[in-house]
Structure 1
Amino acid sequence: MATLAKVTAAALALAMFGCGGGGGGGTETGDGTSVPPQPQLANISAFVDSSSYAGVLVGCVAAEEQSESCSLDTLPLIGLEHSDPDIDAIMARVAVSHTWMGERFAAVLAELPADILTLLKGVTAIVIDDDIRPSFYTTLTGAIYLDPANLWLTNAEKATINREEDFRSNFGNELAFRSLWRYTLNSVRAYQFYPLDGDEQRELGDIVYRLAALLFHELAHANDFFPPDIIGGLDTTQSVLAAAASIQGQRVAVQLQDDIPLSSDTLRGLAGVMFRGDTPSAEQRALSAAQVGELFAADGANDDYAYSSIYEDVAMLFEETMMKYHFNIDRDTGYTSAPAEAGGCEEFVVGWGNRNRLGDTEVKSRARYVTEALLPQADLSTFFDNLTLPVEMVPGVSWCFNLLSPPARPGSGTSLRIDREHRFHPEDLLRHH
């Protein structure tokens, strides 16, 4: 049986092959070019054992080599079989290491917008395994692979999940700033952080927003490589990998890069450090949070993950758009000081940051471009027209005090409440999905 390390390594190699080099992770997997040392996928099985695809599902999603990539006749994209898939149709394509993972995924799907089911037409399968971290998508199999840390509710479920850190967790630690992000709703966090090594339990409502963001991101990748308007014309005798390569020029990311590209080479270089583990240069080490924020504000990305590859650019724009459109959830993005050890919130002092970067004129233009391509049946014109400008954070104030809009000030009663209820979340430092 395939190991996840081999699957990921193969996908990364194919990123070079299928995308003409490029920046790695976002091209095919959503990671970077470094490969996580993951154990085996030997314990996965079809969640619905009566599914007509149960006999081929595991073999197809565990492909290691280009020659093992299944044909679209063997395991088609869901959209080739269903024009309007329901949850049952989706669950017939789910492979899991533990039954609770499939049960929970189905339960959350019932709480999510119908657009998720539409976007799932762009994948062959959904894999949820105890060893997957981080989540990713690959054209080697046409499947998305989800970290079950986004799904557990009970301590018993949590105990089945690998607790290894995301292999990217320490990337960028030698820089003089930290890149932070979070989702907010009405000036509070949209969801809370619950560590795998804690004893807290969750309700279903605690995981809906976090899983929505993850799915919008990974499904943006899938629908980027297989745009909705052209999957009906695919040659199903081809492998999913060959089919993706045959329409390479029609990828949304390629077209966005041609028409409205990002321009900052400095931020591209920093993305190599933060998301691929490149060694920073002396010049990069010297950059402050305020300097990086100034560069970021002048360009058209909504998150610096966009600079890791043209594919992450698309996924980040789409993810934030969908979270705002469906849930009115805003995304905070900021650059802070870099304390020697991640401690209290007061140590992460904002040099630059804002909320609702999506409302920036250039970012909005690029997000509209992406959304119209990935969800052509949806009319978001009014949504984009009504977006307000970003709200700027206050430099010199901590990341957590900037949670309120306008920001809370140290010493005020409000700031004390925010400090108690919204302590620094380690997730704010994580290298995205």
Structure 2
Amino acid sequence: MMIKTRMWVLLIAAILTGCGGSGGDTPEPQNDDPDVLARNDIRDVDELAVYRTDSPYASLIKECALVETADEACTLEALPFIAQATPDFTKEDIMNRLLVTHDWMGERFETLLEDAPDSMIPLFGSLTSIVIGSTVRPSHYWAGTGGIQLDPATLWLSLEEKANVSIADDYRSEFDKDLQFWEFVSMRIGDAPAIQFFDLSDREERTLKDIEIPVYRLLYHELSHAVDYLPTESIATLDSSLVPARALDNNSQLFLSPRLNLDLPLYSQTLYDLGQVSFQGEIATEEQQGFTPTFVGSEMANDGAAEFYGYNTLREDFATLFTAGMMKREFNIDYYSAFVNKPVDESQYRCDELLVGWGVKNRLADTLVAARARWVAESIYGPNTLIDGFFANELGEAVPMTVGLDWCSNRDGVTTIAALKNSGAESLELNAATRRQLEGERRRHTH
């Protein structure tokens, strides 16, 4: 059966379940190592507070944002979508919908919002609320409330702030343990990484510049989910007497990702089934456990997903396409992606063990991907000359990676072993910074 048939089945569940959940029930790991930053003042979501106490929604936004089921949500008369309440809304209207567990989270969000690309601001109109809290993991959008929740792991700068962020594992971290390939993705500006990865447990701090790209990538991804459910053309026809999920469902014929799935579907049933293992926790079959990076890559090469994560659901297919397109358009960031073999020791490995079975630099420029990413951009912003010019002239070229060469050498355009020997290094073992970067590029999920 074609992938689009299977994906329609997921649509009904997605309306109420969104993209994920928070990890607040998981106890924080303990460690007596003085080099490991201890957690301090971790607050669960029940300790959220409205960031702007003078918000017109201050008295009810927490109650509306933290319901357990979609039918318990506030009606849109009580807490409307931002653009529903104020069609010409401002950044102040966005800040009025923010809940945080710590004031610094709100301050950081406000700073980044002030400098956000102009193309991002209209997307907030499809939200009712924004939550940032110590224990939110993973970040997610939920149609049940029409709101997003953001993991503050992308926001901290100081050690004091980092200590307020949970270090509990993402519940999806081991879903792919029985598969014999890893996916790596590196966001690049020219020859340099666009993101430097940091550890939540060590004592290293970072600057505002370090977090801008990760936060904007996250926001484009989560906001695209909101617009998927509530595109501009749907706002005026919402029934305000209903809770968000019911009002959105009444306009389901306007949902964007199902329309993408009809017009330009993904076709690989193999990758869809693997996506249910890697991202939904299904048990891998014996056949799937034998799939090689080269085989999986051959499926990817003949289909139009921006990332493997797009085979999770049709919603994530839509969001990953939009995110890749906007990061290229706004920041000139290329996505390098590859499938590599798993190393023998998954906790201690070297770059030269990660042999590429398939990979490409600038995946967005692939003809199949570009056509679908353009469809997504036009469905959100409408056809216009800026989108036309971007997709016609600014994508660059998709460049295949060298099969059999390791990920680091493909990514950096050098041979890792030769580079290390020329630098006088006595060992191929990874230093802490290089290992942290590799772990950040290893994609187990996108949120």
TM-score, scaled to structure 2: 0.87
| 1:325 counterpart = 2:333 | no
Q: Is the 8 A contact 1:400 1:422 kept in 2?
A: no
Instruction: Quote the residue 1:222 is aligned against.
Output: 226
Partner of 2:251: 247
Q: Could you tell me whether the CA contact under 8 Å between 1:140 and 1:240 is conserved in 2?
A: yes
Are 2:238 and 2:248, in contact at CA under 8 Å, matched by a contact in 1?
A: no
Change (3 A) 1:24 1:168: farther
Identical positions, percent: 34
Match of 2:184 in 1: 180
Q: CA deviation at 1:87?
A: 2.1
Partner of 2:156: 152
- Alignment match, 2:365: 359
Q: Give the drift of 1:36.
A: 5.2
Report the Cα distance in structure 1 between the residues aligned to 2:16 and 2:108, rounded to whole angstroms: 29
Counterpart check, 1:86 vs 2:83: no
Query: For residues 234 and 367 of structure 1, what CA distance do their matches in structure 2 show?
Result: 27
The partner residue of 1:235 within 224, 236, 239 is 239
In 2, the alpha carbon distance for the partners of 1:37 and 1:151 equals 18
* Deviation at residue 245 of structure 1 after TM alignment: 0.6
Kindly state the Cα deviation for residue 319 of structure 1 after the two structures are TM-superposed: 0.4
Deviation by residue 1:155-179 (Cα, 9 ceiling, x = unmatched) = 0001011110111111112111111
Shift of 1:80: 1.2
* Correspondence for 2:287 among 276, 283, 287: 283
**What amino acid does structure 1 have at the position aligned with 2:387?**
L
Equivalent of 2:392 in 351, 360, 385: 385
How many aligned positions are there? Answer: 413
Q: Does 1:72 align with 2:76?
A: yes
SS of corresponding position for 1:180? strand
Calculate the aligned-residue CA RMSD, in Å. Answer: 2.3
CA shift at 1:422, angstroms? 4.6
1:341 Cα deviation after fit: 1.4
| Counterpart contact for 1:111–1:208, Cα < 8 Å | no
How far, CA to CA, are the matches of 1:36 and 1:47 in structure 2? 22
For 2:86 and 2:190, locate their aligned partners in 1 and report how far apart those are by CA, in whole Å: 38
Distance apart, 1:186 and its partner CA: 1.3
Distance in 1 between residues matched to 2:15 and 2:187, nearest whole Å: 21
Q: 1-side partners of 2:199 and 2:334: how far apart?
A: 23
TM-score (norm 1): 0.90
Counterpart of 1:55 in 2: which secondary structure? coil
Change over 3 Å in CA distance of 1:167–1:174 after alignment to 2: same
Give the partner amino acid of 1:177. F
The answer to whether the Cα contact below 8 Å between 2:15 and 2:245 also exists between their aligned partners in 1 is no
Tell me whether 1:206 sits opposite 2:220 in the alignment.
no
- Does the 8 Å CA contact 2:97/2:130 hold for their aligned counterparts? yes
**C-alpha distance after superposition, 1:79-138 (max 9, x if no partner):** 112333332211110000111000000011122201221110110111001000000000
The 1-side partners of 2:11 and 2:240 are apart by: 27
Residues in 2 aligned to 1:168 and 1:24: alpha-carbon distance in whole angstroms: 19
What is the DSSP-based 3-state SS (H/G/I as helix, E as strand, rest coil) of the residue aligned with 2:186? strand
Structure 1 match to 2:378: 372
Is the radius of gyration larger for structure 1 or structure 2?
2
Tell me if 1:38 matches 2:25: yes
For the pair 1:104 / 2:108, whether they are aligned, the reply is yes
Question: What's the CA shift for 1:399?
Answer: 1.4
Question: Quick one: distance in 2 between partners of 1:156 and 1:367?
Answer: 40
1:240 Cα offset (Å): 0.9
Q: Indicate the residue corresponding to 1:394 in structure 2.
A: 402
User: Equivalent residue of 1:272, what SS?
Assistant: helix
- 5 Å-filtered alignment, 1:403-422, equals 403-404=411-412, 406-408=413-415, 410-412=417-419, 422=434
Match of 1:260 in 2: 264
Q: Name whichever of 145-154 and 37-46 sits farther off.
A: 37-46
Distance 1:413 1:282, change over 3 A: closer
Alpha-carbon deviations, 1:290-338, whole Å to 9, x = none? 1110110001111111111111010000000000000001111110010
Question: Runs of 5+ in structure 2 lacking a partner?
Answer: 1-7, 27-43
Measure the CA separation in 2 of the matches of 1:191 and 1:26.
Answer: 32
- Out of 238-247 and 128-137, give the one that drifted further: 238-247
Deviates more, 1:185-194 or 1:133-142: 185-194
Pair 341,137 (structure 1): closer, same or farther in 2 beyond 3 Å: same
The runs of at least 4 aligned residues of structure 1 exceeding 4 Å deviation read 22-28, 34-37, 413-424
SS in 2 for 1:382: helix
2:336 counterpart SS class = strand
1:407 CA drift (Å): 4.4
Deviation, 1:189, is: 1.1
Consecutive unaligned residues of structure 1, counting only runs of 5 or more, are 1-18
In structure 2, what is the Cα distance between the partners aligned to 1:109 and 1:362?
33
Tell me, in whole angstroms, the C-alpha distance in 2 between the residues paired with 1:232 and 1:191: 39
Quote the Cα distance in structure 1 between the aligned partners of 2:338 and 2:420: 24
- Cα separation, partners in 2 of 1:23 and 1:273, compared to 1, 3 Å: farther
Q: 1:306 to 1:162 in 2, by over 3 A?
A: same
Preserved contact between residue 351 and residue 416 of structure 2 (Cα < 8 Å) = no
